[in-house]
Structure formats: C-alpha cells, structure tokens
Structure 1
Amino acid sequence: MDRRTFTTLATASLLTRSLWAQHAQHSPDIFYIALIADPHIIDDFYVKGSENGVEDNESILLTTPRLTSARDLINSLTPQIEQVFLIGDYFHNYPSTDYDFYFKNRTRLDNAKVITDGFKAPVHIGFGNHDYDVRKVPREMSHRLFAAKFNTKPYYAFDYKDVKFVHLNNFLGSTQDNAAKDFNPGLGSFGEEQLHWFEDQLNQHKPTYVFVHYPLMMTQATEFSDFGLQPILRRHKDTIQLVVSGHVHKWLDFAHTYGPQHIGMAATRYDPNAYMLLEVNRRSGAYRFMNEDLVDWSTHYSKPYRS
C-alpha cells in the first residue's frame, strides 16, 4: 500500500468515527452489526496473473490490506459493533486438493483467520463459491476444513438480543453436485434438508436476517415440486427483515422482488469501504442502514464518510 492510499484510508477512518458518533444511538433497545462480503484472501501459494483481466489481477493482491482496513475501521466505532457477518468467499480458491496440506503449511485459510481474529466483535462466516471448488475438491473436505480451522458449520443460525441471524449455504443442492445431471456451478441450490431447516427457523417468528452468498437471481426458485427458497421467503416476508448476498462484487438493490428486502453487497476485495453498518432494534427487529448514503449503487465502491 503506497503512502497516498494509506493516508486516504486513515482520513476516511477518522471521518467515519466522527460521523458515527453523531448518528449512532446509545440505547438498550439498539445494537449495531457489520456485514462484509468477498474478501478473497490469498497466500504465498497463490499464482499471480491467474485472474480474469487487469482489474481482477490487481485487486486480488490487495485483499489483505483492504480487509484489514475495513476491520480496523469497524473496530474503531463507538457505540461498538457487536456482531460481524462475512458473506462468503472468505479466501480465494484451494492451493491443494490434499486435506493434510492445510495443516502442514500456512495457507490462505490461516491468513484469513488471522485477520478476522482481530475484530473486537465475533465474526460469523458463510460459504462462498471460492470457499469450495465443486469441480475438484469434495464438498465434504471443505466442510471438514471449515470445522477444523474456523469452527464453522455449512449453514447455521443463532439468536442475539431477540433477533435471529441465518447463514444459508447455496452450494448444497444438486446444481453444486458434480455427479448430478443438473450440475451447474453458476446456479445456487440448497437441498431439501437445509430448506426444511430454514423454514423451521422462520416458524419461530423472530425478526430474522438472512445471509447467502449468491444473489437470489442466481439461485433456484424451487427445487422439489413447488418447494424452494423463494416460496419460503415470500411466505415469511413479514418475519424476514433483510436478505443480503455477495458474489457479484457490486452494490445491488433488488428491493422486494423476492418478498423481503434483498441487497447485494460490494466486496472488500475491490474497496475497503465496501461494508454495511446496520443499526438493529431488538424490539421490532427493524434496521437502519447507517452508511447507505455513501454507497455508489451498481459499482464496486462506497464513498468514505465526510464531515
């Protein structure tokens, strides 16, 4: 990172802290969370120049300082961020198909964990397509590595201050099974077990936030007759406060196309300001997108805070 870039990031951080202090609330009914997508952390085994185009080849080499910058800014806020959610592509591809390789060498998995261990708030990780390699690496191996390295399940939910947060996994259905007739890595699917589990979570009727890596336009609407993610979302649109995805690396507002409000996030891979800061009301479950005015929609970028 050159001096100009460092100075710009540092200035943005100071302005962010100032503006945050003016607009955030100190209330027992309010808490704050941060969302991050697509950091794409690499390691010394990464082969330079293996991406698609100049922008991708340049950005992948800056993923560590950009995620670190976002982390340090989020850590600096008062009132503090209480939970952090990372919506997939935690790291960038697998340097080996050998499970033991990841315990004999320091890899991008370890590098990613070192960065996120530096957050003051707990970090909850979801799976992205680059956290799998469904053509070459068995999904079971990816799940074993996530369990061993990050203590993370393929999908999960937890309640915090009367609000439910759900990490869905759109890589568990037949479209992500390289032995299936409908194998299509570009189309997300969930599998019957996960879909039933998700609806059971929603039947608790707690205000719910849903995180999934592929935007809903890239996931199967239904998978088993008329049963699938999109009918579930529409049935429970009053319970689900927000659906947030990553993957496309741009800010996208899908509004209520799928029932609940659905937003696609930009990536810290391209911009250290590409995070979401949400104020959540524990009583109603409603949220306020604190840095929405700074988002440059349909691009990779967010503007830094300005006083």
Structure 2
Amino acid sequence: MKNSMTRALCFLLLTLCSLDTILAQEFKFAFLTDLHVHSDSTLGQVELRLKSLSPQVELLLSGGDNVDIDNLKSADLSAGEQRIKSLKGLFDRTKKPYHMAIGNHDRLPRDLRDGTNDFALFEKAFGQTYYSFDHKGWRFIVLNSVETKDNHYVIGDKQLAWLKDLVEKTGKDQPLVIISHVPFLSVYYPVLEGRYTAADTFTNQKQVFDLFKDHSLKLVLQGHMHLYEEIKVKGVQFITAGAVSGNWWHGAFEGTAPGHLEVDVHGKDFSWSYVK
C-alpha cells in the first residue's frame, strides 16, 4: 500500500511539473503589419522580409493591411485577389503557423461594399476576421477593428458579444495578447499634428479594454499608423509596430524605418525588438 501511494504521489508531482512546463514554455513569434502589397515588386519585398526572420521564430502574426484592395477599381479587383493568393502562398511556404488580422485596406472598394460583403476577399483567403487561438499556454485574440459605425472604426455588437463570452471563459491567470489593426491607443496625431482625434483609434476601445481588467492581458499589438510606438498603461504593453512597407514602400515614415516586431516569450513574461 505504501509503495502504491508513493508511486501515485510521484506520478502526481510529475504531472504537475509537466503542466507547469507546458505553461512556461519559451517561444518566439513575429508580428508583421501594414504590408500593403500592391504589385509584384512589393510582394517580392514581403518575401524577402519573411526569409529574413530569425530562425527561432515559430509563429507568424499579421497586423492587417495585407494587400491593398479597398482602393482598386472594379476592373482591377481580380488582380488584387490574385495578390492575396500569392501572399497566402508566401506565408504557406514558410511552413510555420500564421494568423492574419484584417486592416482597412483589406476591405472591398467602397463602391462595392454593402455592409455584409466588406471583408469577402479576406475571408475567402484567410477565414474569419476575428478569432482566438492558444499557443504554448498563451491566448492570442485577433480582433476585426475595421468594422464601422457612424463613419468611425468600432468593435461591432456581434463581435463584442463574442469577445465578452471568450473573456468569461478564459482563465484569469492565462497570459493574453490582443492583435488589432486600428490602435486602442496612439499618439500619432498629438505628436505629428499637435491635436487629438478619434479618427485613427476605434471608438469603443475603453469598453473593450475594460473587459480584461481582471485578466492577465500582457500585450496589445497594433498597426495602421506606420509609426513605432510603445505605450504602457495599467501594466499592459501597447506596441504600434511600424510597418513592413514603411512609408508605403518609399523608405522610412516619420523616423520609423520599414520593419517588423519579434517577440520572445519567457513563461509569463516577454521581451521584444523592432527589426529593421
């Protein structure tokens, strides 16, 4: 009996240690935002960027504005769709898991949008526009922040209900990352133009942020602005991660060189670098 109890105790300890190891695994991921593919040459530049990633990167994330679709004329839409397929092919060939966010330029052109088909080409290639997934103990939440209401970006009611349910079902200690194309927070306009505006944040960002007040939200990754920003609020690190395309493929934008973010996860902590 004593030997059986000892074996059972050892098995329990080993199981607990194994679970802790799973939760505390280290890994590295890359966040690439604002690729703005609009030609074969820009597609080639994205390919070079993907090939330049650190060999330790095991997970790829997109921050949106993957392919410029929203500014195309109807006659050019098929070429835009082909570029989406080509970009997907580049990510497929990395042989790494990847997850895409949608940006405002990934939407159909304005004259073709009817409120129900806005994201049709993105969804056809990459699937849902908002979703979550887990990787080695961390939960990643990808938002669609380019829904609109009264001509402002917003997390819409259906998506918000989904997010509330997801947060309620998420352990309070599980480390979380949010990916949002349009920022929660940005100092773009105050720094560049000396004024505050809601034009380039989504309008109900506080309502969304407050959902996580009792959870372990660690990191919010943002795009859209093409600037590199680090803002820390209430223990949450917000990073607007520049742009792969820089100044829309014309060099640096306001001092931010073309680049991507690489994040090293260490258990429930992390560090990062902007790779030019």
- Return the TM-score normalized by structure 2: 0.71
2:136 equivalent in structure 1: 161
Give the partner amino acid of 1:90.
Answer: N
1:222 equivalent in structure 2: 204
Instruction: Decide which structure has greater strand share.
Output: 2
Does structure 1 residue 231 correspond to structure 2 residue 210?
yes
The structural deviation recorded for 1:163 is: 1.1
Does structure 1 residue 84 correspond to structure 2 residue 60?
yes
**C-alpha distance in structure 2 between counterparts of 1:81 and 1:116, whole Å:** 13
Unaligned runs of 5+ in 2: 1-23, 186-199, 252-256
**C-alpha distance in structure 1 between counterparts of 2:258 and 2:80, whole Å:** 31
The structural deviation recorded for 1:98 is: 7.6
**C-alpha distance in structure 1 between counterparts of 2:204 and 2:228, whole Å:** 25
1:253 equivalent in structure 2: 230
Unaligned runs of 5+ in 1: 1-27, 45-61, 175-181, 296-301
Matched length: 226
2:97 equivalent in structure 1: 122
Structure 2 counterparts to residues 33-72 of structure 1, below 5 A:
33-43=29-39, 63-72=42-51
1:49 equivalent in structure 2: none
**C-alpha distance in structure 2 between counterparts of 1:286 and 1:169, whole Å:** 26
* Runs of 4+ deviating beyond 6 Å: none
Maintained 8 Å contact 1:202/1:208: no
**C-alpha distance in structure 1 between counterparts of 2:164 and 2:231, whole Å:** 22
Secondary structure in structure 2 of the residue aligned to 1:264: strand
2:221 equivalent in structure 1: 244
Maintained 8 Å contact 2:69/2:109: no
Give the partner amino acid of 1:216.
Answer: F
> Which structure: larger Rg?
2
Of residues 22, 30, 42, the one that matches 2:26 is 30
**C-alpha distance in structure 2 between counterparts of 1:120 and 1:208, whole Å:** 24
**C-alpha distance in structure 1 between counterparts of 2:108 and 2:80, whole Å:** 19
Structure 2 counterparts to residues 151-230 of structure 1, below 5 A:
152-174=127-149, 182-184=150-152, 188-203=153-168, 204-205=170-171, 206-217=174-185, 218-222=200-204, 228-230=207-209
- Cα RMSD of the aligned pairs, angstroms, is 2.9
1:16 equivalent in structure 2: none
**C-alpha distance in structure 2 between counterparts of 1:105 and 1:212, whole Å:** 23
1:149 equivalent in structure 2: 125
Secondary structure in structure 1 of the residue aligned to 2:245: coil
**C-alpha distance in structure 1 between counterparts of 2:38 and 2:178, whole Å:** 27
Maintained 8 Å contact 2:61/2:98: yes
Maintained 8 Å contact 1:86/1:126: yes
- Return the TM-score normalized by structure 1: 0.65
